[in-house]
Structure 1
Amino acid sequence: MTKDHRDEILFHTPGRHAEAYPYKILVAGRSRFTENDGLVTRRFHHHTLILTMSGRGLIEIAGQRFAAGAGSVVWLDTAMQYAHGCHAEADHWRYLWMSIDGHGLDAVFAFLRVGQSPVFSGSVTAEPLFEQAIGTLGHRSQTTDALSNAIVGQLIALLVAERGEQEEDSSERIQRLMRALRADIARNWQIEDMADISSLSASQLHRQFRQKTGTTPMDWMRHERMNLAKRLLTSSEAKISAVALSSGYADPYHFSRDFRRISGQSPSEFRRARGQ
Protein backbone atom coordinates (compact mmCIF):
# COMPACT_ATOMS: atom_id res chain seq x y z
CA MET A 1 0.00 0.00 0.00
CA THR A 2 1.46 3.36 -1.00
CA LYS A 3 1.48 6.49 1.07
CA ASP A 4 -1.49 7.87 -0.89
CA HIS A 5 -3.66 4.99 0.29
CA ARG A 6 -3.24 5.56 3.99
CA ASP A 7 -3.14 9.15 5.16
CA GLU A 8 -2.98 8.39 8.86
CA ILE A 9 -2.60 5.34 11.09
CA LEU A 10 -2.53 5.31 14.88
CA PHE A 11 -1.73 2.35 17.13
CA HIS A 12 -2.66 1.86 20.74
CA THR A 13 -1.47 -0.67 23.31
CA PRO A 14 -4.11 -0.99 26.05
CA GLY A 15 -2.91 -0.12 29.54
CA ARG A 16 -2.77 -2.39 32.56
CA HIS A 17 -6.29 -1.40 33.64
CA ALA A 18 -7.82 -2.01 30.20
CA GLU A 19 -9.20 -5.41 31.23
CA ALA A 20 -11.79 -3.53 33.26
CA TYR A 21 -13.43 -2.50 29.98
CA PRO A 22 -15.14 -4.87 27.51
CA TYR A 23 -14.05 -3.06 24.33
CA LYS A 24 -10.73 -1.74 23.04
CA ILE A 25 -9.56 0.20 19.98
CA LEU A 26 -6.19 -1.15 18.87
CA VAL A 27 -5.63 0.76 15.61
CA ALA A 28 -7.47 3.58 13.85
CA GLY A 29 -6.85 5.80 10.88
CA ARG A 30 -7.88 7.56 7.68
CA SER A 31 -7.34 5.99 4.27
CA ARG A 32 -7.87 6.76 0.63
CA PHE A 33 -7.80 4.72 -2.56
CA THR A 34 -8.01 6.03 -6.11
CA GLU A 35 -9.38 4.44 -9.25
CA ASN A 36 -5.83 3.54 -10.31
CA ASP A 37 -5.16 1.44 -7.22
CA GLY A 38 -5.92 -2.25 -7.30
CA LEU A 39 -7.51 -4.34 -4.57
CA VAL A 40 -5.29 -4.85 -1.54
CA THR A 41 -5.48 -8.18 0.27
CA ARG A 42 -5.18 -8.15 4.05
CA ARG A 43 -5.57 -10.48 7.02
CA PHE A 44 -5.32 -9.29 10.60
CA HIS A 45 -6.77 -10.79 13.76
CA HIS A 46 -9.26 -8.16 14.85
CA HIS A 47 -12.72 -6.93 14.01
CA THR A 48 -12.52 -3.82 11.83
CA LEU A 49 -15.14 -1.12 11.26
CA ILE A 50 -14.93 1.08 8.15
CA LEU A 51 -16.91 4.29 7.58
CA THR A 52 -16.98 5.54 3.98
CA MET A 53 -16.65 9.32 3.88
CA SER A 54 -16.80 9.84 0.12
CA GLY A 55 -16.50 7.93 -3.12
CA ARG A 56 -17.24 4.23 -3.15
CA GLY A 57 -15.34 1.20 -1.95
CA LEU A 58 -15.31 -2.46 -2.86
CA ILE A 59 -14.91 -5.21 -0.26
CA GLU A 60 -14.26 -8.82 -1.29
CA ILE A 61 -14.79 -11.61 1.25
CA ALA A 62 -14.72 -15.32 0.43
CA GLY A 63 -15.41 -14.64 -3.23
CA GLN A 64 -18.33 -12.28 -2.55
CA ARG A 65 -18.13 -8.57 -3.35
CA PHE A 66 -19.87 -5.78 -1.45
CA ALA A 67 -20.08 -2.07 -2.31
CA ALA A 68 -19.47 0.53 0.39
CA GLY A 69 -21.14 3.85 -0.40
CA ALA A 70 -20.79 7.18 1.38
CA GLY A 71 -22.11 7.02 4.93
CA SER A 72 -22.10 3.22 5.11
CA VAL A 73 -20.33 1.24 7.81
CA VAL A 74 -18.66 -2.06 6.96
CA TRP A 75 -17.88 -4.59 9.67
CA LEU A 76 -15.10 -7.04 8.85
CA ASP A 77 -13.89 -10.03 10.80
CA THR A 78 -10.37 -9.67 9.54
CA ALA A 79 -9.28 -13.04 10.87
CA MET A 80 -10.62 -14.03 7.45
CA GLN A 81 -8.72 -12.94 4.38
CA TYR A 82 -10.33 -10.04 2.59
CA ALA A 83 -9.52 -7.55 -0.16
CA HIS A 84 -10.60 -3.95 -0.51
CA GLY A 85 -10.10 -0.97 -2.77
CA CYS A 86 -11.80 1.67 -4.88
CA HIS A 87 -14.97 0.56 -6.65
CA ALA A 88 -14.72 0.38 -10.45
CA GLU A 89 -17.55 2.91 -10.79
CA ALA A 90 -15.86 5.52 -8.56
CA ASP A 91 -12.74 7.66 -8.92
CA HIS A 92 -11.80 7.38 -5.23
CA TRP A 93 -12.68 5.86 -1.90
CA ARG A 94 -12.00 7.80 1.29
CA TYR A 95 -12.79 6.26 4.65
CA LEU A 96 -12.16 6.21 8.39
CA TRP A 97 -11.51 2.92 10.12
CA MET A 98 -10.71 1.26 13.41
CA SER A 99 -9.68 -2.22 14.49
CA ILE A 100 -11.31 -3.30 17.72
CA ASP A 101 -11.22 -6.14 20.21
CA GLY A 102 -13.50 -7.10 23.04
CA HIS A 103 -15.63 -9.62 24.86
CA GLY A 104 -18.62 -10.89 22.91
CA LEU A 105 -17.79 -9.30 19.55
CA ASP A 106 -17.84 -12.68 17.79
CA ALA A 107 -21.29 -13.37 19.23
CA VAL A 108 -22.65 -9.97 18.14
CA PHE A 109 -21.08 -10.47 14.71
CA ALA A 110 -22.93 -13.78 14.35
CA PHE A 111 -26.19 -12.47 15.82
CA LEU A 112 -26.33 -9.62 13.30
CA ARG A 113 -25.45 -12.01 10.43
CA VAL A 114 -22.58 -9.74 9.47
CA GLY A 115 -20.84 -12.56 7.63
CA GLN A 116 -23.70 -12.62 5.13
CA SER A 117 -24.36 -8.88 5.13
CA PRO A 118 -21.33 -6.84 6.28
CA VAL A 119 -22.52 -3.42 5.04
CA PHE A 120 -24.71 -1.25 7.28
CA SER A 121 -26.39 1.88 5.98
CA GLY A 122 -24.76 3.82 8.79
CA SER A 123 -25.88 6.86 10.72
CA VAL A 124 -25.05 10.55 10.97
CA THR A 125 -23.87 9.79 14.49
CA ALA A 126 -21.25 7.30 13.28
CA GLU A 127 -18.83 9.87 11.84
CA PRO A 128 -18.25 11.76 15.13
CA LEU A 129 -17.52 8.45 16.85
CA PHE A 130 -14.91 7.49 14.25
CA GLU A 131 -13.35 10.95 14.47
CA GLN A 132 -13.35 10.68 18.24
CA ALA A 133 -11.61 7.29 18.02
CA ILE A 134 -8.84 8.74 15.86
CA GLY A 135 -8.52 11.76 18.13
CA THR A 136 -8.40 9.57 21.23
CA LEU A 137 -5.58 7.43 19.85
CA GLY A 138 -3.78 10.53 18.58
CA HIS A 139 -3.73 12.12 22.04
CA ARG A 140 -3.34 9.18 24.38
CA SER A 141 -3.83 9.68 28.09
CA GLN A 142 -4.94 7.78 31.17
CA THR A 143 -8.52 7.96 29.89
CA THR A 144 -7.80 6.45 26.45
CA ASP A 145 -8.96 2.94 27.36
CA ALA A 146 -12.15 4.21 28.99
CA LEU A 147 -12.95 6.47 26.03
CA SER A 148 -12.19 3.68 23.55
CA ASN A 149 -14.59 1.39 25.36
CA ALA A 150 -17.34 4.02 25.25
CA ILE A 151 -16.82 4.73 21.54
CA VAL A 152 -16.95 1.08 20.51
CA GLY A 153 -19.97 0.45 22.71
CA GLN A 154 -21.88 3.29 21.05
CA LEU A 155 -20.96 2.08 17.56
CA ILE A 156 -22.04 -1.49 18.31
CA ALA A 157 -25.32 -0.14 19.70
CA LEU A 158 -25.92 1.79 16.46
CA LEU A 159 -25.33 -1.29 14.33
CA VAL A 160 -27.51 -3.50 16.52
CA ALA A 161 -30.31 -0.92 16.37
CA GLU A 162 -30.09 -0.65 12.58
CA ARG A 163 -30.09 -4.38 11.95
CA GLY A 164 -32.82 -4.81 14.55
CA GLU A 165 -35.03 -2.29 12.74
CA GLN A 166 -34.44 -4.12 9.48
CA GLU A 167 -35.39 -7.38 11.18
CA GLU A 168 -38.58 -5.81 12.54
CA ASP A 169 -39.42 -4.40 9.11
CA SER A 170 -38.85 -7.80 7.52
CA SER A 171 -41.13 -9.47 10.08
CA GLU A 172 -43.90 -6.96 9.41
CA ARG A 173 -43.70 -7.59 5.67
CA ILE A 174 -44.07 -11.33 6.18
CA GLN A 175 -46.95 -10.81 8.62
CA ARG A 176 -48.66 -8.49 6.12
CA LEU A 177 -48.41 -11.17 3.45
CA MET A 178 -49.78 -13.85 5.79
CA ARG A 179 -52.78 -11.67 6.62
CA ALA A 180 -53.46 -11.11 2.91
CA LEU A 181 -53.22 -14.83 2.13
CA ARG A 182 -55.58 -15.79 4.94
CA ALA A 183 -58.07 -13.08 3.95
CA ASP A 184 -58.29 -14.35 0.35
CA ILE A 185 -57.19 -17.96 0.61
CA ALA A 186 -59.23 -19.09 -2.43
CA ARG A 187 -57.42 -16.70 -4.77
CA ASN A 188 -55.12 -18.16 -7.41
CA TRP A 189 -51.99 -16.77 -5.77
CA GLN A 190 -48.73 -16.51 -7.69
CA ILE A 191 -45.34 -15.83 -6.15
CA GLU A 192 -45.24 -12.50 -8.00
CA ASP A 193 -48.47 -11.44 -6.25
CA MET A 194 -46.96 -12.33 -2.89
CA ALA A 195 -43.76 -10.44 -3.67
CA ASP A 196 -45.77 -7.32 -4.58
CA ILE A 197 -47.71 -7.38 -1.30
CA SER A 198 -44.57 -7.86 0.78
CA SER A 199 -42.61 -5.23 -1.22
CA LEU A 200 -39.82 -7.73 -1.83
CA SER A 201 -38.34 -9.43 -4.84
CA ALA A 202 -39.33 -13.07 -5.33
CA SER A 203 -35.91 -14.28 -4.16
CA GLN A 204 -35.93 -11.98 -1.11
CA LEU A 205 -39.43 -13.13 -0.21
CA HIS A 206 -38.47 -16.79 -0.48
CA ARG A 207 -35.38 -16.32 1.69
CA GLN A 208 -37.00 -14.13 4.35
CA PHE A 209 -40.18 -16.20 4.53
CA ARG A 210 -38.15 -19.37 5.07
CA GLN A 211 -36.10 -17.63 7.76
CA LYS A 212 -39.28 -16.64 9.63
CA THR A 213 -41.37 -19.78 9.17
CA GLY A 214 -39.05 -22.61 8.15
CA THR A 215 -40.97 -23.17 4.92
CA THR A 216 -41.74 -21.49 1.59
CA PRO A 217 -44.68 -19.12 0.95
CA MET A 218 -46.40 -21.67 -1.29
CA ASP A 219 -46.02 -24.51 1.22
CA TRP A 220 -47.26 -22.29 4.04
CA MET A 221 -50.34 -21.31 2.00
CA ARG A 222 -50.97 -24.95 1.09
CA HIS A 223 -51.08 -25.90 4.76
CA GLU A 224 -53.37 -22.95 5.53
CA ARG A 225 -55.71 -24.16 2.79
CA MET A 226 -55.70 -27.64 4.28
CA ASN A 227 -56.56 -26.23 7.72
CA LEU A 228 -59.53 -24.41 6.19
CA ALA A 229 -60.59 -27.53 4.31
CA LYS A 230 -60.54 -29.59 7.51
CA ARG A 231 -62.79 -27.06 9.23
CA LEU A 232 -65.23 -27.10 6.32
CA LEU A 233 -65.24 -30.90 6.13
CA THR A 234 -66.12 -31.25 9.81
CA SER A 235 -68.50 -28.30 10.15
CA SER A 236 -70.58 -28.57 6.97
CA GLU A 237 -72.07 -31.07 4.57
CA ALA A 238 -70.63 -29.32 1.51
CA LYS A 239 -69.50 -31.52 -1.35
CA ILE A 240 -65.78 -32.26 -1.65
CA SER A 241 -65.63 -30.20 -4.85
CA ALA A 242 -67.19 -27.21 -3.04
CA VAL A 243 -64.74 -27.55 -0.14
CA ALA A 244 -61.90 -27.71 -2.66
CA LEU A 245 -63.08 -24.53 -4.39
CA SER A 246 -63.48 -22.65 -1.09
CA SER A 247 -59.96 -23.74 -0.15
CA GLY A 248 -58.40 -22.38 -3.33
CA TYR A 249 -58.46 -25.50 -5.50
CA ALA A 250 -60.30 -25.31 -8.81
CA ASP A 251 -59.43 -28.97 -9.47
CA PRO A 252 -60.83 -31.46 -6.89
CA TYR A 253 -58.22 -34.03 -7.94
CA HIS A 254 -55.34 -31.71 -7.00
CA PHE A 255 -57.13 -30.87 -3.78
CA SER A 256 -57.51 -34.54 -2.82
CA ARG A 257 -53.89 -35.24 -3.73
CA ASP A 258 -52.55 -32.42 -1.54
CA PHE A 259 -54.97 -33.26 1.27
CA ARG A 260 -53.82 -36.89 1.40
CA ARG A 261 -50.15 -35.90 1.20
CA ILE A 262 -50.47 -33.48 4.12
CA SER A 263 -53.01 -35.24 6.37
CA GLY A 264 -52.46 -38.89 5.42
CA GLN A 265 -56.13 -39.35 4.49
CA SER A 266 -58.39 -38.48 1.61
CA PRO A 267 -60.98 -35.73 2.28
CA SER A 268 -63.76 -38.35 2.41
CA GLU A 269 -61.81 -40.54 4.85
CA PHE A 270 -61.05 -37.53 7.03
CA ARG A 271 -64.74 -36.58 7.13
CA ARG A 272 -65.94 -40.12 7.91
CA ALA A 273 -63.36 -40.55 10.66
CA ARG A 274 -64.89 -37.55 12.41
CA GLY A 275 -68.45 -38.76 12.12
CA GLN A 276 -69.55 -36.52 9.27
Structure 2
Amino acid sequence: MNRQNYFEYFPAGPHEKLWGLHVSAAGYTRVAPGEPYPSREHPNTRYFTWESGRVLAALQLIFISSGQGTFAETEAEAETTVSEGDVFIVRPGIWHRYKPASQTGWTENWFELRGTSVDRWLAGGLLQKSIYRVSPIETYRQRFDDFHETAVQRPAGYRPTLAGLAMALLGQLSIQNRSSTEINNSIARMVDAAREQLLKGVPVETVAAGQGMSYPCFYRHFKKATGLAPKEYVNKTRHAQAETLLSGSGMSVKEIAIQLGYSSPSHFSADFKKRGGRSPKKWLKD
Protein backbone atom coordinates (compact mmCIF):
# COMPACT_ATOMS: atom_id res chain seq x y z
CA MET A 1 0.00 0.00 0.00
CA ASN A 2 1.36 3.41 -1.02
CA ARG A 3 0.48 5.20 2.20
CA GLN A 4 1.17 8.90 2.72
CA ASN A 5 3.08 10.13 5.75
CA TYR A 6 0.82 11.48 8.47
CA PHE A 7 0.51 12.17 12.17
CA GLU A 8 -2.66 12.94 14.11
CA TYR A 9 -3.43 13.95 17.69
CA PHE A 10 -6.71 12.95 19.32
CA PRO A 11 -7.91 14.69 22.52
CA ALA A 12 -9.85 12.44 24.89
CA GLY A 13 -13.63 12.80 24.98
CA PRO A 14 -15.84 11.96 27.99
CA HIS A 15 -16.39 8.35 26.87
CA GLU A 16 -12.66 7.69 26.49
CA LYS A 17 -12.07 8.97 30.02
CA LEU A 18 -14.73 6.57 31.34
CA TRP A 19 -13.17 3.64 29.50
CA GLY A 20 -9.76 4.58 30.91
CA LEU A 21 -7.99 4.10 27.57
CA HIS A 22 -7.64 6.21 24.47
CA VAL A 23 -5.27 6.66 21.54
CA SER A 24 -4.00 10.22 21.96
CA ALA A 25 -1.75 10.28 18.87
CA ALA A 26 -0.72 8.15 15.90
CA GLY A 27 1.41 8.36 12.79
CA TYR A 28 3.20 6.78 9.85
CA THR A 29 6.47 8.11 8.44
CA ARG A 30 8.67 6.80 5.66
CA VAL A 31 12.09 8.40 6.23
CA ALA A 32 14.40 8.31 3.19
CA PRO A 33 18.17 7.69 3.58
CA GLY A 34 19.88 10.87 4.72
CA GLU A 35 16.60 12.71 5.41
CA PRO A 36 16.58 15.00 8.50
CA TYR A 37 14.85 13.44 11.50
CA PRO A 38 12.54 13.99 13.27
CA SER A 39 10.15 16.30 11.42
CA ARG A 40 9.98 19.80 12.93
CA GLU A 41 6.24 19.81 12.16
CA HIS A 42 5.50 17.96 15.40
CA PRO A 43 4.33 20.08 18.36
CA ASN A 44 6.83 21.11 21.04
CA THR A 45 5.49 18.47 23.45
CA ARG A 46 6.60 15.68 21.08
CA TYR A 47 9.58 17.11 19.21
CA PHE A 48 13.10 16.12 20.27
CA THR A 49 16.64 15.99 18.95
CA TRP A 50 19.10 13.12 19.19
CA GLU A 51 21.29 15.23 21.45
CA SER A 52 18.53 16.13 23.93
CA GLY A 53 16.24 13.10 23.84
CA ARG A 54 12.90 13.56 25.57
CA VAL A 55 10.55 12.39 28.33
CA LEU A 56 6.89 11.77 27.47
CA ALA A 57 3.83 11.71 29.71
CA ALA A 58 2.25 8.87 27.66
CA LEU A 59 2.99 5.32 26.46
CA GLN A 60 4.17 4.96 22.86
CA LEU A 61 4.58 1.89 20.64
CA ILE A 62 6.78 2.21 17.52
CA PHE A 63 6.92 -0.55 14.87
CA ILE A 64 9.72 -0.47 12.28
CA SER A 65 8.30 -2.02 9.11
CA SER A 66 11.38 -1.37 6.94
CA GLY A 67 14.93 -0.07 7.30
CA GLN A 68 16.87 0.19 10.53
CA GLY A 69 18.08 2.65 13.13
CA THR A 70 19.03 3.16 16.76
CA PHE A 71 17.05 3.26 20.02
CA ALA A 72 18.31 4.31 23.44
CA GLU A 73 16.01 4.21 26.45
CA THR A 74 18.21 5.67 29.16
CA GLU A 75 21.32 7.82 29.17
CA ALA A 76 23.07 5.15 31.23
CA GLU A 77 22.65 2.23 28.81
CA ALA A 78 24.12 1.48 25.40
CA GLU A 79 22.30 2.27 22.16
CA THR A 80 20.49 -0.66 20.53
CA THR A 81 20.08 -1.31 16.80
CA VAL A 82 16.46 -1.82 15.72
CA SER A 83 15.43 -3.01 12.28
CA GLU A 84 12.51 -4.29 10.19
CA GLY A 85 10.20 -6.34 12.40
CA ASP A 86 11.21 -4.72 15.68
CA VAL A 87 8.81 -2.94 18.02
CA PHE A 88 9.99 -0.71 20.82
CA ILE A 89 7.96 0.61 23.72
CA VAL A 90 8.48 4.08 25.20
CA ARG A 91 7.10 4.26 28.73
CA PRO A 92 5.92 7.50 30.36
CA GLY A 93 8.50 9.26 32.45
CA ILE A 94 11.47 7.44 30.86
CA TRP A 95 14.14 9.41 28.98
CA HIS A 96 14.66 8.06 25.45
CA ARG A 97 15.73 8.87 21.91
CA TYR A 98 15.72 7.11 18.56
CA LYS A 99 16.56 7.76 14.92
CA PRO A 100 16.80 5.96 11.55
CA ALA A 101 20.20 5.07 10.13
CA SER A 102 21.30 7.69 7.59
CA GLN A 103 22.32 4.94 5.13
CA THR A 104 18.95 3.13 5.11
CA GLY A 105 16.26 5.37 6.55
CA TRP A 106 13.25 3.53 7.97
CA THR A 107 9.47 3.31 8.01
CA GLU A 108 7.92 3.89 11.42
CA ASN A 109 4.37 3.12 12.52
CA TRP A 110 3.37 4.40 15.93
CA PHE A 111 0.62 5.23 18.35
CA GLU A 112 0.37 6.82 21.77
CA LEU A 113 -1.87 5.58 24.60
CA ARG A 114 -3.12 7.32 27.72
CA GLY A 115 -5.59 6.56 30.49
CA THR A 116 -6.07 4.82 33.81
CA SER A 117 -5.80 1.41 32.13
CA VAL A 118 -2.26 2.25 30.98
CA ASP A 119 -1.42 3.35 34.52
CA ARG A 120 -2.62 -0.02 35.88
CA TRP A 121 -0.60 -2.00 33.33
CA LEU A 122 2.59 -0.21 34.27
CA ALA A 123 1.91 -0.40 38.01
CA GLY A 124 1.36 -4.15 37.62
CA GLY A 125 4.71 -4.66 35.88
CA LEU A 126 3.44 -5.08 32.31
CA LEU A 127 5.36 -3.74 29.31
CA GLN A 128 8.63 -3.44 31.22
CA LYS A 129 10.57 -4.85 28.28
CA SER A 130 11.59 -2.20 25.74
CA ILE A 131 12.20 -4.06 22.45
CA TYR A 132 10.16 -6.88 20.92
CA ARG A 133 10.54 -8.90 17.75
CA VAL A 134 7.29 -9.65 15.87
CA SER A 135 6.66 -12.65 13.65
CA PRO A 136 5.22 -12.96 11.09
CA ILE A 137 5.96 -9.36 10.15
CA GLU A 138 3.23 -9.28 7.50
CA THR A 139 0.52 -9.96 10.08
CA TYR A 140 1.69 -7.08 12.25
CA ARG A 141 2.05 -4.82 9.22
CA GLN A 142 -1.52 -5.62 8.13
CA ARG A 143 -2.90 -4.85 11.60
CA PHE A 144 -1.12 -1.52 11.56
CA ASP A 145 -2.51 -0.81 8.07
CA ASP A 146 -6.02 -1.26 9.51
CA PHE A 147 -5.08 1.05 12.38
CA HIS A 148 -3.71 3.76 10.05
CA GLU A 149 -6.77 3.59 7.81
CA THR A 150 -9.04 4.21 10.80
CA ALA A 151 -6.84 7.03 12.15
CA VAL A 152 -6.79 8.85 8.80
CA GLN A 153 -10.42 8.28 7.71
CA ARG A 154 -11.98 8.76 11.18
CA PRO A 155 -15.22 6.84 10.51
CA ALA A 156 -18.09 6.98 13.01
CA GLY A 157 -16.94 5.47 16.31
CA TYR A 158 -13.28 5.67 15.34
CA ARG A 159 -12.01 6.41 18.86
CA PRO A 160 -12.99 3.07 20.49
CA THR A 161 -12.02 1.28 17.26
CA LEU A 162 -8.51 2.74 17.46
CA ALA A 163 -8.25 1.70 21.12
CA GLY A 164 -9.30 -1.85 20.21
CA LEU A 165 -6.78 -2.07 17.35
CA ALA A 166 -4.05 -0.77 19.64
CA MET A 167 -4.93 -3.43 22.21
CA ALA A 168 -4.67 -6.12 19.51
CA LEU A 169 -1.20 -4.89 18.52
CA LEU A 170 -0.07 -4.88 22.16
CA GLY A 171 -1.64 -8.28 22.74
CA GLN A 172 0.39 -9.87 19.95
CA LEU A 173 3.58 -8.67 21.64
CA SER A 174 2.47 -10.15 24.96
CA ILE A 175 1.67 -13.56 23.47
CA GLN A 176 4.91 -13.81 21.48
CA ASN A 177 7.17 -12.68 24.29
CA ARG A 178 5.55 -14.28 27.34
CA SER A 179 8.62 -16.43 27.97
CA SER A 180 11.15 -13.62 27.41
CA THR A 181 13.38 -12.54 30.26
CA GLU A 182 11.96 -9.49 32.06
CA ILE A 183 13.62 -7.14 34.50
CA ASN A 184 13.08 -7.94 38.13
CA ASN A 185 9.40 -7.23 38.87
CA SER A 186 9.96 -6.15 42.43
CA ILE A 187 12.47 -3.50 41.34
CA ALA A 188 10.09 -2.34 38.60
CA ARG A 189 7.24 -1.93 41.09
CA MET A 190 9.54 -0.12 43.49
CA VAL A 191 10.58 2.37 40.82
CA ASP A 192 6.98 2.99 39.73
CA ALA A 193 5.93 3.69 43.34
CA ALA A 194 8.97 5.90 43.88
CA ARG A 195 8.26 7.96 40.76
CA GLU A 196 4.74 8.69 41.97
CA GLN A 197 5.98 9.78 45.40
CA LEU A 198 8.78 11.94 44.00
CA LEU A 199 6.36 13.79 41.72
CA LYS A 200 4.20 14.53 44.77
CA GLY A 201 7.17 16.31 46.37
CA VAL A 202 8.27 13.60 48.83
CA PRO A 203 12.02 14.06 49.52
CA VAL A 204 14.30 11.50 47.86
CA GLU A 205 15.75 10.37 51.20
CA THR A 206 12.24 9.73 52.56
CA VAL A 207 11.27 7.72 49.47
CA ALA A 208 14.43 5.60 49.76
CA ALA A 209 13.81 4.91 53.44
CA GLY A 210 10.21 3.95 52.70
CA GLN A 211 11.47 1.36 50.22
CA GLY A 212 13.84 -0.06 52.87
CA MET A 213 16.92 1.08 50.96
CA SER A 214 19.89 3.27 51.63
CA TYR A 215 20.05 6.41 49.50
CA PRO A 216 22.97 5.12 47.32
CA CYS A 217 21.17 1.80 46.69
CA PHE A 218 17.90 3.54 45.80
CA TYR A 219 19.72 6.05 43.56
CA ARG A 220 21.47 3.23 41.67
CA HIS A 221 18.27 1.23 41.03
CA PHE A 222 16.27 4.32 40.10
CA LYS A 223 18.83 5.67 37.63
CA LYS A 224 19.32 2.26 36.03
CA ALA A 225 15.55 1.91 35.49
CA THR A 226 14.81 5.45 34.29
CA GLY A 227 18.13 6.75 32.96
CA LEU A 228 17.88 9.77 35.23
CA ALA A 229 18.86 10.68 38.77
CA PRO A 230 15.76 11.08 41.00
CA LYS A 231 15.83 14.89 41.15
CA GLU A 232 16.59 15.17 37.43
CA TYR A 233 13.68 12.82 36.73
CA VAL A 234 11.31 15.05 38.72
CA ASN A 235 12.49 18.19 36.92
CA LYS A 236 12.25 16.73 33.40
CA THR A 237 8.90 15.03 34.03
CA ARG A 238 7.35 18.15 35.54
CA HIS A 239 8.55 20.16 32.55
CA ALA A 240 7.06 17.63 30.11
CA GLN A 241 3.77 17.64 32.03
CA ALA A 242 3.76 21.45 32.04
CA GLU A 243 4.19 21.57 28.25
CA THR A 244 1.37 19.07 27.79
CA LEU A 245 -0.98 21.08 30.04
CA LEU A 246 -0.03 24.40 28.42
CA SER A 247 -0.62 23.07 24.90
CA GLY A 248 -3.94 21.29 25.34
CA SER A 249 -5.66 21.66 28.70
CA GLY A 250 -6.94 25.24 28.51
CA MET A 251 -5.72 25.74 32.08
CA SER A 252 -4.20 29.02 33.23
CA VAL A 253 -0.57 29.31 34.35
CA LYS A 254 -1.80 29.62 37.93
CA GLU A 255 -3.92 26.45 37.67
CA ILE A 256 -1.04 24.49 36.13
CA ALA A 257 1.33 25.68 38.87
CA ILE A 258 -1.08 24.41 41.53
CA GLN A 259 -1.64 21.07 39.80
CA LEU A 260 2.10 20.43 39.46
CA GLY A 261 2.76 21.26 43.10
CA TYR A 262 4.58 24.58 42.75
CA SER A 263 4.42 27.03 45.66
CA SER A 264 3.35 29.89 43.37
CA PRO A 265 2.79 30.77 39.68
CA SER A 266 6.00 32.84 39.73
CA HIS A 267 7.98 29.83 41.01
CA PHE A 268 6.47 27.70 38.23
CA SER A 269 7.25 30.32 35.55
CA ALA A 270 10.83 30.73 36.74
CA ASP A 271 11.42 26.96 36.83
CA PHE A 272 9.80 26.47 33.41
CA LYS A 273 12.04 29.14 31.89
CA LYS A 274 15.11 27.66 33.58
CA ARG A 275 14.38 24.23 32.06
CA GLY A 276 13.26 25.29 28.59
CA GLY A 277 14.71 28.75 28.03
CA ARG A 278 11.29 30.41 27.64
CA SER A 279 8.55 31.51 29.99
CA PRO A 280 5.18 29.68 29.76
CA LYS A 281 3.58 32.63 27.95
CA LYS A 282 6.49 32.91 25.47
CA TRP A 283 6.41 29.13 24.91
CA LEU A 284 2.70 29.31 24.00
CA LYS A 285 3.27 32.18 21.57
CA ASP A 286 6.09 30.32 19.79
**Where does residue 215 of structure 1 map in the other structure?**
none
Residues 163, 101 of structure 1: alpha-carbon distance in 2 compared, 3 angstrom cutoff: same
1:105 aligns with 2:103: no
| Aligned positions, number | 160
User: Which residue pairs with 1:151 in the alignment?
Assistant: 165
Whichever residue aligns with residue 145 of structure 1, its letter is R
In structure 2, the residue matched to 1:14 is 12
Name structure 2 gaps, 5 residues minimum: 38-48, 183-286
1:81 aligns to what? Answer: 95
Verify: 1:44 aligned to 2:52, yes or no: no
**Structure-1 separation of matches of 2:16 and 2:121:** 21
Supply the RMSD in Å over aligned alpha carbons.
Answer: 2.7
Q: Report which of the two structures shows the higher radius of gyration computed on alpha carbons.
A: 1
Partners of 2:82 and 2:116 lie apart in 1 by 27
The 2-side partners of 1:70 and 1:144 are apart by 28
After TM superposition, the score normalised by the length of structure 1 is: 0.51
User: What percentage of residue pairs aligned between the two structures are identical?
Assistant: 16
Q: Which amino acid aligns with 1:137?
A: A
* Alignment of structure 1 residues 18-167 onto 2, 5 Å: 18-36=16-34, 37=36, 40=50, 41-63=53-75, 64=77, 65-87=79-101, 90-109=103-122, 111-112=125-126, 114=128, 117-123=129-135, 124=137, 125-166=139-180
Partner SS state of residue 105, structure 1: helix
Q: Secondary structure at the match of 1:91?
A: coil
Structure 1 residues 51 and 91: alpha-carbon distance in aligned structure 2, compared to 1, 3 A threshold: same
Cα contact 1:55–1:94 (8 A) shared by 2: yes
Structure number with the higher strand fraction is: 1
- Cα distance, 1:54 vs. partner? 0.7
- Judged with a 3 Å threshold, the aligned counterparts in structure 2 of structure 1 residues 122 and 19 are, in CA distance, closer, same or farther, namely same
* 1:27 alignment partner, SS class: strand
Letter in 2 for 1:23: L
> Equivalents in 2 of 1:153, 1:45: separation in Å?
19
* 8 A contact 1:98–1:130 mirrored in 2: no
For residue 62 of structure 2, what is the amino acid of its counterpart?
I
CA distance in 2, matches of 1:43, 1:93: 22
CA offsets per residue over residues 128-163 of structure 1, 9 Å max, x none? 232222222212243112202211221221122122
Using CA pairs below 8 Å that are at least 6 residues apart, which structure has the higher relative contact order? Answer: 2
Distance 1:100 1:113, change over 3 A: closer
